[in-house]
């Protein structure tokens, strides 16, 4: 499975490479996803769908950046509870 990363006694260069490569790969995959969304939505559905994706993107990035933080999870759940009440 996964090897535990020793943050206290590990080599700094090794730790930097571990987190750097993981972050860069994640950002590249997310960027490719956004570009492909833009191409398909812009060509197939139209400008309004593309605008909707671009409006929601910062919200998605915020929750993606928070990860598993309990405060962000609670905010996310509360946001969708309020949204469901309106519809």
DSSP reduced 3-state for 43: helix
In a domain, 5, yes or no: no
Residues spanned by the domain of 38: 12-86
DSSP reduced 3-state for 51: helix
- Please tell me which residue, 71 or 53, carries the higher pLDDT value: 53
DSSP reduced 3-state for 45: helix
* Listed ranges 39-43, 58-62, 70-74, 78-82; the one with the highest mean pLDDT: 39-43
In a domain, 4, yes or no: no
Query: Could you identify the residue written with the tokens 């812009």?
Result: 42
In a domain, 25, yes or no: yes
pTM listed for this prediction? 0.54
| Structure tokens belonging to residue 19 | 């987190």
- Please tell me which residue, 43 or 70, carries the higher pLDDT value: 43
Please check the confidence at residue 78 and state whether its pLDDT lies above 80.
no
At 18-69, the pLDDT tens digits run 778 887 888 888 888 888 888 888 888 888 888 888 888 888 777 777 765 6
Rg (CA), the chain: 18
| Number of separate domains in the chain | 1
């Amino acid at each position: 499975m996964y090897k535990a990363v020793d943050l206290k006694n590990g080599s700094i260069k090794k730790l930097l490479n571990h987190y750097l490569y993981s972050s860069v790969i994640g950002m590249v995959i997310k960027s490719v996803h956004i570009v492909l969304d833009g191409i398909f939505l812009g060509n197939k559905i139209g400008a309004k769908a593309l605008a909707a994706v671009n409006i929601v993107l910062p919200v998605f990035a915020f929750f993606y950046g928070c990860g598993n933080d309990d405060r962000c999870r609670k905010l996310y759940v509360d946001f969708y509870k309020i949204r469901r009440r309106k519809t």
